[in-house]
Protein backbone atom coordinates (compact mmCIF):
# COMPACT_ATOMS: atom_id res chain seq x y z
CA UNK A 1 0.00 0.00 0.00
CA UNK A 2 2.80 2.37 0.96
CA UNK A 3 4.55 1.62 -2.31
CA UNK A 4 1.37 2.36 -4.18
CA UNK A 5 1.01 5.78 -2.53
CA UNK A 6 4.67 6.55 -3.27
CA UNK A 7 4.12 5.50 -6.88
CA UNK A 8 1.09 7.78 -7.22
CA UNK A 9 2.99 10.70 -5.65
CA UNK A 10 5.99 10.17 -7.89
CA UNK A 11 4.03 9.95 -11.15
CA UNK A 12 1.14 12.22 -10.15
CA UNK A 13 1.65 14.53 -13.16
CA UNK A 14 1.81 11.70 -15.65
CA UNK A 15 -1.32 10.09 -14.22
CA UNK A 16 -3.23 13.37 -14.30
CA UNK A 17 -2.06 13.93 -17.89
CA UNK A 18 -3.25 10.51 -19.02
CA UNK A 19 -6.57 10.86 -17.15
CA UNK A 20 -7.36 14.19 -18.80
CA UNK A 21 -6.41 12.88 -22.25
CA UNK A 22 -8.75 9.92 -21.73
CA UNK A 23 -11.57 12.30 -20.82
CA UNK A 24 -10.91 14.17 -24.09
CA UNK A 25 -10.89 11.00 -26.16
CA UNK A 26 -14.21 9.94 -24.62
CA UNK A 27 -15.70 13.35 -25.45
CA UNK A 28 -14.47 13.19 -29.06
CA UNK A 29 -15.75 9.68 -29.47
CA UNK A 30 -19.18 10.61 -28.15
CA UNK A 31 -19.68 13.52 -30.52
CA UNK A 32 -18.52 11.61 -33.55
CA UNK A 33 -21.51 9.33 -33.20
CA UNK A 34 -24.78 10.78 -34.46
CA UNK A 35 -26.34 11.16 -31.00
CA UNK A 36 -23.68 13.67 -29.97
CA UNK A 37 -23.37 15.40 -26.65
CA UNK A 38 -25.26 18.61 -26.30
CA UNK A 39 -23.19 19.94 -23.38
CA UNK A 40 -20.07 20.84 -25.32
CA UNK A 41 -21.42 22.44 -28.45
CA UNK A 42 -22.24 25.97 -29.40
CA UNK A 43 -25.91 25.26 -28.75
CA UNK A 44 -25.23 25.54 -25.01
CA UNK A 45 -26.31 28.60 -23.09
CA UNK A 46 -23.02 30.45 -22.48
CA UNK A 47 -21.47 30.26 -25.92
CA UNK A 48 -24.90 30.73 -27.49
CA UNK A 49 -25.31 34.01 -25.63
CA UNK A 50 -21.83 35.28 -26.58
CA UNK A 51 -22.45 34.50 -30.23
CA UNK A 52 -25.86 36.18 -30.05
CA UNK A 53 -24.36 39.41 -28.68
CA UNK A 54 -21.77 39.39 -31.44
CA UNK A 55 -24.33 38.77 -34.16
CA UNK A 56 -26.44 41.65 -32.83
CA UNK A 57 -23.51 43.95 -33.57
CA UNK A 58 -22.46 42.50 -36.94
CA UNK A 59 -26.11 42.28 -38.08
CA UNK A 60 -26.32 46.00 -38.92
CA UNK A 61 -23.50 45.88 -41.44
CA UNK A 62 -25.35 43.42 -43.67
CA UNK A 63 -28.79 45.04 -43.77
CA UNK A 64 -28.52 46.43 -47.29
CA UNK A 65 -27.53 43.06 -48.80
CA UNK A 66 -30.25 41.39 -46.72
CA UNK A 67 -32.91 43.72 -48.16
CA UNK A 68 -31.87 42.98 -51.71
CA UNK A 69 -32.05 39.24 -51.26
CA UNK A 70 -35.43 39.48 -49.49
CA UNK A 71 -36.85 41.54 -52.35
CA UNK A 72 -35.57 39.01 -54.86
CA UNK A 73 -37.08 36.17 -52.90
CA UNK A 74 -40.43 37.94 -52.64
CA UNK A 75 -40.47 38.41 -56.39
CA UNK A 76 -39.77 34.74 -56.96
CA UNK A 77 -42.50 33.68 -54.51
CA UNK A 78 -45.04 35.99 -56.15
CA UNK A 79 -44.26 34.39 -59.48
CA UNK A 80 -44.83 30.95 -58.06
CA UNK A 81 -48.14 31.96 -56.47
CA UNK A 82 -49.35 33.26 -59.79
CA UNK A 83 -48.44 30.03 -61.48
CA UNK A 84 -50.28 28.01 -58.83
CA UNK A 85 -53.45 30.04 -59.23
CA UNK A 86 -53.70 28.99 -62.83
CA UNK A 87 -53.38 25.26 -62.11
CA UNK A 88 -56.58 23.32 -61.60
CA UNK A 89 -55.43 21.19 -58.67
CA UNK A 90 -58.64 19.13 -58.57
CA UNK A 91 -58.05 17.90 -62.07
CA UNK A 92 -54.30 17.39 -62.06
CA UNK A 93 -53.71 15.57 -58.81
CA UNK A 94 -54.75 12.19 -57.54
CA UNK A 95 -54.45 12.53 -53.75
CA UNK A 96 -56.17 15.30 -51.77
CA UNK A 97 -56.21 16.16 -48.11
CA UNK A 98 -57.91 18.94 -46.18
CA UNK A 99 -55.53 21.53 -44.76
CA UNK A 100 -57.73 22.37 -41.73
CA UNK A 101 -60.74 20.43 -40.58
CA UNK A 102 -62.97 23.48 -41.03
CA UNK A 103 -61.69 24.04 -44.53
CA UNK A 104 -63.98 22.54 -47.14
CA UNK A 105 -61.59 22.98 -50.08
CA UNK A 106 -58.94 20.36 -50.84
CA UNK A 107 -55.27 20.71 -51.61
CA UNK A 108 -52.50 18.65 -53.09
CA UNK A 109 -50.69 16.73 -50.32
CA UNK A 110 -47.27 17.99 -51.32
CA UNK A 111 -47.99 21.55 -50.29
CA UNK A 112 -49.48 20.74 -46.90
CA UNK A 113 -46.68 18.54 -45.60
CA UNK A 114 -44.07 21.11 -44.71
CA UNK A 115 -43.99 23.85 -42.07
CA UNK A 116 -41.44 26.64 -42.48
CA UNK A 117 -39.97 28.53 -39.51
CA UNK A 118 -37.58 31.45 -39.84
CA UNK A 119 -34.37 31.71 -37.81
CA UNK A 120 -31.41 34.04 -37.66
CA UNK A 121 -27.85 32.71 -38.01
CA UNK A 122 -25.79 33.76 -34.99
CA UNK A 123 -22.60 31.82 -35.68
CA UNK A 124 -21.22 30.34 -38.83
CA UNK A 125 -18.12 28.39 -39.83
CA UNK A 126 -16.96 27.55 -43.32
CA UNK A 127 -13.39 26.36 -42.89
CA UNK A 128 -13.38 23.32 -40.59
CA UNK A 129 -13.70 19.80 -41.91
CA UNK A 130 -17.25 19.63 -40.51
CA UNK A 131 -18.94 22.99 -40.51
CA UNK A 132 -21.65 24.01 -38.06
CA UNK A 133 -24.08 26.93 -37.99
CA UNK A 134 -25.74 28.13 -34.79
CA UNK A 135 -29.26 29.58 -35.05
CA UNK A 136 -31.33 31.49 -32.50
CA UNK A 137 -34.27 29.07 -32.36
CA UNK A 138 -34.51 26.00 -30.14
CA UNK A 139 -36.91 23.42 -28.79
CA UNK A 140 -39.10 26.18 -27.31
CA UNK A 141 -39.77 27.34 -30.87
CA UNK A 142 -40.60 23.86 -32.14
CA UNK A 143 -37.20 22.94 -33.57
CA UNK A 144 -36.13 19.33 -33.15
CA UNK A 145 -33.31 17.10 -34.36
CA UNK A 146 -32.94 16.17 -38.03
CA UNK A 147 -35.07 18.97 -39.43
CA UNK A 148 -33.88 20.39 -42.74
CA UNK A 149 -32.54 23.95 -43.00
CA UNK A 150 -32.60 26.06 -46.18
CA UNK A 151 -31.83 29.66 -47.03
CA UNK A 152 -33.60 31.94 -49.49
CA UNK A 153 -31.33 30.77 -52.27
CA UNK A 154 -30.67 27.07 -51.57
CA UNK A 155 -30.05 24.28 -49.09
CA UNK A 156 -28.04 24.79 -45.89
CA UNK A 157 -28.01 21.65 -43.71
CA UNK A 158 -29.63 19.55 -40.99
CA UNK A 159 -30.33 20.34 -37.30
CA UNK A 160 -28.04 18.30 -35.06
CA UNK A 161 -28.11 19.65 -31.47
CA UNK A 162 -31.04 21.50 -29.88
CA UNK A 163 -31.20 23.42 -26.59
CA UNK A 164 -34.10 25.49 -25.26
CA UNK A 165 -33.22 28.65 -27.21
CA UNK A 166 -30.51 27.67 -29.70
CA UNK A 167 -29.81 24.92 -32.19
CA UNK A 168 -26.69 23.96 -34.09
CA UNK A 169 -26.97 22.90 -37.70
CA UNK A 170 -24.56 20.57 -39.50
CA UNK A 171 -24.08 22.35 -42.81
CA UNK A 172 -23.83 20.70 -46.22
CA UNK A 173 -20.12 21.62 -46.10
CA UNK A 174 -19.37 18.48 -44.10
CA UNK A 175 -18.07 15.01 -44.81
CA UNK A 176 -20.66 13.55 -42.44
CA UNK A 177 -23.77 13.84 -44.57
CA UNK A 178 -24.99 13.11 -48.07
CA UNK A 179 -27.92 14.90 -49.68
CA UNK A 180 -30.10 13.24 -52.31
CA UNK A 181 -30.14 15.37 -55.46
CA UNK A 182 -31.60 15.28 -58.93
CA UNK A 183 -30.75 16.84 -62.26
CA UNK A 184 -33.17 18.69 -64.52
CA UNK A 185 -34.05 15.54 -66.45
CA UNK A 186 -34.80 13.54 -63.28
CA UNK A 187 -31.50 11.62 -62.90
CA UNK A 188 -30.82 11.17 -59.18
CA UNK A 189 -27.52 11.18 -57.31
CA UNK A 190 -25.93 12.28 -54.06
CA UNK A 191 -24.19 15.50 -53.07
CA UNK A 192 -21.01 15.25 -51.02
CA UNK A 193 -18.38 17.79 -49.98
CA UNK A 194 -14.62 17.44 -49.83
CA UNK A 195 -12.42 19.54 -47.55
CA UNK A 196 -9.71 19.67 -50.19
CA UNK A 197 -12.00 21.50 -52.59
CA UNK A 198 -13.84 23.82 -50.21
CA UNK A 199 -15.46 25.91 -52.91
CA UNK A 200 -17.34 23.16 -54.72
CA UNK A 201 -20.00 20.57 -53.93
CA UNK A 202 -19.62 17.25 -55.74
CA UNK A 203 -22.49 15.18 -57.11
CA UNK A 204 -21.72 11.45 -57.30
CA UNK A 205 -23.48 8.35 -58.66
CA UNK A 206 -24.48 9.91 -61.97
CA UNK A 207 -24.23 7.53 -64.97
CA UNK A 208 -21.74 8.52 -67.64
CA UNK A 209 -24.25 8.70 -70.47
CA UNK A 210 -26.25 11.51 -68.85
CA UNK A 211 -25.41 14.74 -70.65
CA UNK A 212 -24.87 17.76 -68.42
CA UNK A 213 -24.13 21.29 -69.58
CA UNK A 214 -22.20 23.91 -67.63
CA UNK A 215 -24.66 26.16 -65.79
CA UNK A 216 -27.44 23.55 -65.42
CA UNK A 217 -29.30 23.68 -62.11
CA UNK A 218 -29.38 20.81 -59.60
CA UNK A 219 -32.28 20.39 -57.14
CA UNK A 220 -32.96 18.32 -54.01
CA UNK A 221 -34.47 14.92 -54.69
CA UNK A 222 -37.68 13.39 -53.36
CA UNK A 223 -36.08 10.93 -50.94
CA UNK A 224 -34.28 13.49 -48.77
CA UNK A 225 -35.17 15.33 -45.58
CA UNK A 226 -35.46 18.50 -47.65
CA UNK A 227 -38.67 19.30 -49.46
CA UNK A 228 -38.17 18.46 -53.16
CA UNK A 229 -37.11 20.95 -55.82
CA UNK A 230 -35.03 23.26 -53.68
CA UNK A 231 -32.06 24.61 -55.60
CA UNK A 232 -28.64 23.16 -54.62
CA UNK A 233 -26.37 24.77 -57.17
CA UNK A 234 -25.26 25.09 -60.76
CA UNK A 235 -22.87 22.83 -62.67
CA UNK A 236 -19.25 24.00 -62.92
CA UNK A 237 -17.60 21.04 -64.67
CA UNK A 238 -17.89 17.27 -65.02
CA UNK A 239 -15.20 14.64 -64.53
CA UNK A 240 -15.57 11.07 -65.82
CA UNK A 241 -14.46 8.26 -63.50
CA UNK A 242 -13.17 5.43 -65.76
CA UNK A 243 -13.40 2.79 -63.03
CA UNK A 244 -17.16 2.45 -62.74
CA UNK A 245 -18.49 4.39 -65.73
CA UNK A 246 -19.88 7.11 -63.50
CA UNK A 247 -19.21 10.83 -63.61
CA UNK A 248 -18.54 13.40 -60.91
CA UNK A 249 -20.32 16.73 -61.32
CA UNK A 250 -18.78 19.75 -59.60
CA UNK A 251 -21.35 22.28 -58.44
CA UNK A 252 -21.20 25.93 -57.50
CA UNK A 253 -23.39 26.12 -54.39
CA UNK A 254 -26.32 28.51 -54.79
CA UNK A 255 -26.22 29.36 -51.07
CA UNK A 256 -23.44 31.75 -50.13
CA UNK A 257 -22.25 30.17 -46.88
CA UNK A 258 -19.95 33.08 -46.06
CA UNK A 259 -22.72 35.62 -45.43
CA UNK A 260 -25.72 33.59 -44.28
CA UNK A 261 -28.05 35.68 -42.12
CA UNK A 262 -31.56 34.24 -42.26
CA UNK A 263 -32.54 30.63 -42.75
CA UNK A 264 -35.76 28.63 -42.81
CA UNK A 265 -36.12 25.46 -40.74
CA UNK A 266 -38.41 22.95 -42.43
CA UNK A 267 -40.51 20.56 -40.42
CA UNK A 268 -41.82 17.58 -42.36
CA UNK A 269 -45.10 16.64 -40.66
CA UNK A 270 -45.31 13.30 -42.43
CA UNK A 271 -41.78 12.29 -41.40
CA UNK A 272 -42.77 10.31 -38.27
CA UNK A 273 -45.60 8.51 -40.00
CA UNK A 274 -43.32 7.65 -42.93
CA UNK A 275 -40.65 6.38 -40.56
CA UNK A 276 -43.14 4.11 -38.74
CA UNK A 277 -44.31 2.59 -42.01
CA UNK A 278 -40.75 2.06 -43.23
CA UNK A 279 -39.64 0.49 -39.95
CA UNK A 280 -42.61 -1.88 -39.74
CA UNK A 281 -42.05 -3.17 -43.26
CA UNK A 282 -38.34 -3.60 -42.57
CA UNK A 283 -39.01 -5.97 -39.64
CA UNK A 284 -40.52 -8.73 -41.73
CA UNK B 1 -1.50 43.66 -10.40
CA UNK B 2 -2.26 40.37 -8.69
CA UNK B 3 -0.97 37.39 -10.66
CA UNK B 4 -4.27 35.45 -10.49
CA UNK B 5 -6.39 38.42 -11.54
CA UNK B 6 -4.00 39.24 -14.37
CA UNK B 7 -4.08 35.73 -15.78
CA UNK B 8 -7.86 35.47 -15.46
CA UNK B 9 -8.19 38.69 -17.43
CA UNK B 10 -5.75 37.41 -20.04
CA UNK B 11 -7.73 34.16 -20.30
CA UNK B 12 -10.91 36.10 -21.13
CA UNK B 13 -9.17 38.43 -23.59
CA UNK B 14 -7.47 35.62 -25.49
CA UNK B 15 -10.62 33.49 -25.66
CA UNK B 16 -12.70 36.41 -26.93
CA UNK B 17 -9.98 37.38 -29.43
CA UNK B 18 -9.86 33.83 -30.73
CA UNK B 19 -13.58 33.18 -30.87
CA UNK B 20 -14.96 36.53 -31.98
CA UNK B 21 -12.26 37.77 -34.35
CA UNK B 22 -9.78 35.13 -35.51
CA UNK B 23 -12.41 32.42 -36.15
CA UNK B 24 -14.17 34.73 -38.56
CA UNK B 25 -11.09 35.24 -40.69
CA UNK B 26 -10.82 32.67 -43.44
CA UNK B 27 -7.27 32.54 -44.72
CA UNK B 28 -6.97 31.02 -48.15
CA UNK B 29 -3.58 31.48 -49.77
CA UNK B 30 -3.68 30.60 -53.48
CA UNK B 31 -6.68 28.49 -52.59
CA UNK B 32 -8.53 28.57 -55.92
CA UNK B 33 -6.23 26.80 -58.42
CA UNK B 34 -4.06 24.53 -56.28
CA UNK B 35 -6.49 23.49 -53.57
CA UNK B 36 -4.38 24.95 -50.75
CA UNK B 37 -6.01 24.19 -47.39
CA UNK B 38 -8.19 26.80 -45.72
CA UNK B 39 -7.42 27.42 -42.08
CA UNK B 40 -7.90 29.56 -38.98
CA UNK B 41 -4.95 30.81 -36.90
CA UNK B 42 -5.14 29.39 -33.35
CA UNK B 43 -3.66 31.87 -30.90
CA UNK B 44 -5.30 30.70 -27.65
CA UNK B 45 -2.39 28.38 -26.52
CA UNK B 46 -0.53 31.65 -25.86
CA UNK B 47 -2.37 31.79 -22.51
CA UNK B 48 -0.56 28.62 -21.40
CA UNK B 49 2.77 29.83 -22.79
CA UNK B 50 2.63 33.03 -20.74
CA UNK B 51 1.83 31.52 -17.31
CA UNK B 52 4.53 32.19 -14.66
CA UNK B 53 7.71 30.05 -14.67
CA UNK B 54 7.11 28.26 -11.36
CA UNK B 55 3.52 27.09 -12.16
CA UNK B 56 3.38 23.38 -11.19
CA UNK B 57 2.63 20.83 -13.91
CA UNK B 58 -0.70 19.70 -12.42
CA UNK B 59 -1.98 23.29 -12.43
CA UNK B 60 -0.85 23.69 -16.04
CA UNK B 61 -2.69 20.50 -17.00
CA UNK B 62 -5.95 21.57 -15.37
CA UNK B 63 -5.78 25.06 -16.85
CA UNK B 64 -4.99 23.55 -20.25
CA UNK B 65 -8.05 21.34 -19.95
CA UNK B 66 -10.33 24.27 -19.03
CA UNK B 67 -8.88 26.39 -21.85
CA UNK B 68 -9.32 23.64 -24.41
CA UNK B 69 -12.87 22.76 -23.36
CA UNK B 70 -13.88 26.44 -23.48
CA UNK B 71 -12.59 26.79 -27.04
CA UNK B 72 -14.21 23.46 -27.93
CA UNK B 73 -17.61 24.57 -26.72
CA UNK B 74 -17.44 27.58 -29.02
CA UNK B 75 -16.24 25.66 -32.06
CA UNK B 76 -18.32 22.47 -31.78
CA UNK B 77 -15.22 20.28 -31.75
CA UNK B 78 -15.82 18.47 -28.40
CA UNK B 79 -12.44 17.63 -26.90
CA UNK B 80 -10.15 17.99 -29.92
CA UNK B 81 -8.73 21.35 -28.83
CA UNK B 82 -8.53 20.14 -25.22
CA UNK B 83 -6.55 17.06 -26.29
CA UNK B 84 -3.94 19.14 -28.13
CA UNK B 85 -3.77 21.76 -25.38
CA UNK B 86 -3.16 19.23 -22.60
CA UNK B 87 -0.19 17.77 -24.52
CA UNK B 88 1.55 21.13 -24.75
CA UNK B 89 0.69 21.90 -21.11
CA UNK B 90 2.44 18.70 -20.09
CA UNK B 91 5.57 19.40 -22.15
CA UNK B 92 5.87 23.11 -21.35
CA UNK B 93 8.06 22.71 -18.26
CA UNK B 94 10.50 20.36 -20.00
CA UNK B 95 10.89 22.67 -22.99
CA UNK B 96 11.44 25.68 -20.73
CA UNK B 97 14.10 24.02 -18.57
CA UNK B 98 15.89 22.80 -21.70
CA UNK B 99 16.04 26.32 -23.12
CA UNK B 100 16.89 28.36 -20.01
CA UNK B 101 20.40 28.59 -18.48
CA UNK B 102 19.26 28.59 -14.82
CA UNK B 103 16.91 26.37 -12.81
CA UNK B 104 13.22 27.25 -13.23
CA UNK B 105 12.71 27.89 -9.49
CA UNK B 106 15.21 30.75 -9.62
CA UNK B 107 12.94 32.86 -11.83
CA UNK B 108 10.78 34.08 -8.98
CA UNK B 109 7.55 35.85 -9.92
CA UNK B 110 8.45 36.21 -13.59
CA UNK B 111 6.66 34.83 -16.61
CA UNK B 112 8.07 33.80 -20.00
CA UNK B 113 8.33 36.78 -22.32
CA UNK B 114 10.74 38.40 -24.74
CA UNK B 115 12.03 40.59 -21.91
CA UNK B 116 12.89 37.74 -19.51
CA UNK B 117 14.08 35.18 -22.05
CA UNK B 118 15.37 37.14 -25.04
CA UNK B 119 14.03 37.01 -28.59
CA UNK B 120 15.54 33.76 -29.85
CA UNK B 121 14.80 31.41 -26.91
CA UNK B 122 11.25 32.72 -26.63
CA UNK B 123 10.55 32.23 -30.34
CA UNK B 124 11.96 28.69 -30.29
CA UNK B 125 9.93 27.90 -27.16
CA UNK B 126 6.63 29.19 -28.54
CA UNK B 127 7.15 27.93 -32.11
CA UNK B 128 7.93 24.41 -30.92
CA UNK B 129 4.82 24.17 -28.75
CA UNK B 130 2.56 25.87 -31.30
CA UNK B 131 3.66 23.54 -34.11
CA UNK B 132 3.14 20.54 -31.82
CA UNK B 133 -0.33 21.78 -30.87
CA UNK B 134 -1.33 22.36 -34.50
CA UNK B 135 0.03 19.01 -35.60
CA UNK B 136 -1.93 17.12 -32.95
CA UNK B 137 -5.10 19.13 -33.51
CA UNK B 138 -5.15 18.81 -37.29
CA UNK B 139 -4.32 15.09 -37.24
CA UNK B 140 -7.30 14.50 -34.96
CA UNK B 141 -9.53 16.71 -37.07
CA UNK B 142 -8.62 15.05 -40.40
CA UNK B 143 -8.37 11.57 -38.83
CA UNK B 144 -6.60 9.81 -41.67
CA UNK B 145 -2.93 9.72 -42.58
CA UNK B 146 -3.55 8.81 -46.22
CA UNK B 147 -2.93 12.38 -47.26
CA UNK B 148 0.12 13.26 -45.21
CA UNK B 149 1.36 16.08 -47.48
CA UNK B 150 -1.94 17.93 -47.15
CA UNK B 151 -1.77 17.59 -43.36
CA UNK B 152 1.81 18.90 -43.20
CA UNK B 153 1.01 21.82 -45.49
CA UNK B 154 -1.98 22.72 -43.31
CA UNK B 155 0.06 22.47 -40.09
CA UNK B 156 2.97 24.57 -41.38
CA UNK B 157 0.80 27.26 -42.93
CA UNK B 158 -1.38 27.58 -39.80
CA UNK B 159 1.60 27.57 -37.45
CA UNK B 160 3.32 30.35 -39.40
CA UNK B 161 0.18 32.49 -39.33
CA UNK B 162 -0.43 31.77 -35.63
CA UNK B 163 3.16 32.76 -34.82
CA UNK B 164 2.72 36.05 -36.71
CA UNK B 165 -0.36 36.83 -34.64
CA UNK B 166 1.42 35.82 -31.41
CA UNK B 167 4.36 38.13 -32.16
CA UNK B 168 1.98 40.98 -32.88
CA UNK B 169 0.16 40.29 -29.58
CA UNK B 170 3.46 40.27 -27.65
CA UNK B 171 4.74 43.46 -29.27
CA UNK B 172 1.50 45.20 -28.39
CA UNK B 173 1.37 44.06 -24.78
CA UNK B 174 5.00 43.92 -23.60
CA UNK B 175 5.63 47.57 -24.50
CA UNK B 176 2.71 48.52 -22.29
CA UNK B 177 3.95 46.59 -19.24
CA UNK B 178 7.50 47.93 -19.72
CA UNK B 179 6.29 51.52 -19.50
CA UNK B 180 4.24 50.70 -16.43
CA UNK B 181 7.33 49.38 -14.62
Give the separation between CA A243 and CA A251, rounded to whole angstroms. Answer: 22
B24 CA to centre of own chain: 18
Give the best-scoring range by mean pLDDT among A97-106, A245-254, B146-155.
A245-254
Mean pLDDT of chain A: 78
**A175 part of contact set with chain B, CB < 8 Å:** no
**Confidence band (pLDDT; 50, 70, 90) for B76?**
confident
Specify whether A135 is located in the same domain as A199: no
Query: A263 and A125, same structural domain?
Result: yes
Across the range A187-200, mean pLDDT stands at 82
Asked if residue A263 and residue A250 are part of one domain, the reply reads no
**Of all residues in chain B, what percent carry a pLDDT higher than 70?**
87
User: Is residue A82's pLDDT more than 80?
Assistant: no
> pLDDT confidence of B127, banded at 50, 70, 90?
very high
The answer, yes or no, to whether residue A60 has pLDDT greater than 90, is no
Geometric angle at alpha carbon A152, from A146 and A154, rounded to 5°: 60
Instruction: Using DSSP, state whether A22 is helix, strand or coil.
Output: helix
Q: Are residues A143 and A264 in the same domain?
A: yes
pLDDT tens digits along A102-158: 555 555 444 446 777 888 888 888 877 788 899 988 888 888 888 889 888 888 999
What is the domain extent for residue A220?
A: 179-256
Residue A122 inside a domain? The answer is yes
| Minimum distance, in Å, between the CA of residue A127 and any CA atom of chain B | 6
Task: Please tell me the predicted confidence (pLDDT) of residue B157.
Answer: 85
pLDDT at A193 over 80: yes
pLDDT band at A284 (very low <50, low <70, confident <90, very high): low
Instruction: Name the residue with higher pLDDT: A180 or B28.
Output: A180
- Checking ipTM against 0.95, whether it exceeds it is no
Whether A151 and A246 share a structural domain:
no
Domain residue spans of chain B: 52-180
Q: What is the pLDDT of residue A11?
A: 85
CB-CB neighbors (< 8 A) of B141 in chain A: 128-129
Which of B67, B79, B92, B140 is the best mutation test for A, with the most CBs of A within 10 A?
Answer: B79
Instruction: Kindly report the average pLDDT of chain B as a whole number.
Output: 82
Task: Round to whole Å and give the CA distance between A89 and A140.
Answer: 36
Indicate whether A280 belongs to any domain.
no
pLDDT reported for residue B180: 46
Pairwise pLDDT comparison (B10 vs A284), residue with the higher score: B10
User: What's the burial of A29, exposed, middle or buried (CB within 10 Å: 0-12/13-18/19+)?
Assistant: exposed
Same domain, A122 and A263: yes
* Diameter of chain A measured on Cα atoms: 89
Residue A44: other Cβ atoms inside 10 A: 17
Domain co-membership, A171 together with A54: yes
Domain count, chain A: 3
- Check whether residue A109 and residue A167 sit in a common domain: yes
Residue A218 and residue A77 share a domain: no
pLDDT of residue A92 exceeding 90: no
B113-126: per-residue pLDDT in tens? 887 888 888 899 99
Between B83 and B181, the more confident residue is B83
pLDDT in tens, A21-52: 888 888 887 776 544 555 566 667 777 788 88
Instruction: Tell me the CATH number at A248.
Output: 2.40.10.350
Nearest Cα to Cα of residue B28 among A224, A68, A258: A258
Q: Is B107 left (phi over 0), alpha (psi -120 to 50) or beta?
A: beta
pLDDT grade for A237, boundaries at 50, 70 and 90: confident
Same domain, yes or no: A126 and A264? yes
The per-residue pLDDT for B34 is: 52
Instruction: Give dist(CA A171, CA B181) in Å, integer.
Output: 50
**Chain A contacts of B133, Cβ < 8 Å?**
none
* Domain assignment present for A22: yes
Following DSSP, what letter does each residue of A33-53 receive, concatenated?
Answer: SSS--SSSSTTSHHHHHHHHH
Instruction: Determine, yes or no, domain membership for A5.
Output: no
Residue-level pLDDT at A105 = 55
The answer to the question of residue A247 being in a domain is: yes
Tell me if B137 sits within 8 A of B84, measured CB to CB.
yes
Cα separations (Å) of B162 from A92, A97, B41, B132, B133? Answer: 62, 59, 5, 12, 11
A154 and A213 both lie in a single domain: no
User: Which residues of chain A are within 8 Å of residue B86 when distances are taken between CB atoms?
Assistant: 17, 20-21, 24
Radius of gyration for chain A, computed over Cα atoms and rounded to the nearest angstrom: 23
Query: Distance between CA A13 and CA A106 in Å, rounded?
Result: 72
Each residue of A248-262: pLDDT tens digit?
A: 888 888 888 888 888
d(CA A259, CA A154): 13
Instruction: Indicate the pLDDT class of residue B61, thresholds 50, 70 and 90.
Output: very high
CA distance B173 to chain A (A): 25
Closest-CA residue to A136 (of A122, A115, A156, A152): A122
Q: Which of residues 183-222 of A touch B (CB under 8 A)?
A: 195-199
| pLDDT value at residue A96 | 47
Interface of B with A in 44-103 (CB under 8 A): 57-58, 61-62, 64-65, 68-69, 72-80, 82-83, 86-87, 90
Residues with Cβ within 8 Å of residue A1, at least 6 apart in sequence: none
Look at A258 and A223; give whichever has higher pLDDT.
A258
Q: Supply the Cα-derived Rg of chain B in whole angstroms.
A: 17
- A264 with A139, same domain? yes
Return the pLDDT at B66. 92
Query: Hey, are the CB atoms on B82 and A27 less than 8 Å from each other?
Result: yes
Going from the C-alpha of A158 to that of each of A151, B70, B125, the distances in angstroms are 12, 25, 43
SS (H, E, C) chain B: CCHHHHHHHHHHHHHHHHHHHHHHCCECCCHHHHCCCCECCCCCCHHHHCCCCCCCHHHHHHHHHHHHHHHHHHHCCCCHHHHHHHHHHHHHHHHHHHHCCCCHHHCCCCCCCHHHHCHHHHHHHHHHHHHHHHHHHHHHHHCCCCCHHHHHHHHHHHHHHHHHHHHHHHHHHHHHHHHHC
Distance from CA of A68 to the nearest CA of B (A): 24
Amino acid sequence: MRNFILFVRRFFNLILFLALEIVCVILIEHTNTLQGNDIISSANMVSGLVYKKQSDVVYYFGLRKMNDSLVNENARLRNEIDQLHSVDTLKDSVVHRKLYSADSSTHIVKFADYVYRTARVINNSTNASDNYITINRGSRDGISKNMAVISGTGIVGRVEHVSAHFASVLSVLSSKQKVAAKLKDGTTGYIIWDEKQPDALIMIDVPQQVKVKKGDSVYTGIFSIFSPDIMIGTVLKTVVVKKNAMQLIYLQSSTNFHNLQYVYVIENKMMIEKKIVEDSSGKK
Amino acid sequence: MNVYLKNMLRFCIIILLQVLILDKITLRWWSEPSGFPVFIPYVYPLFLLLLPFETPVWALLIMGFILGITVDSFMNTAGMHAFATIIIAYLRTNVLSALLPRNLSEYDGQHPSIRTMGWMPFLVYSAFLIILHHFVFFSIELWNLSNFGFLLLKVVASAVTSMLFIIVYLLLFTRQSASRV
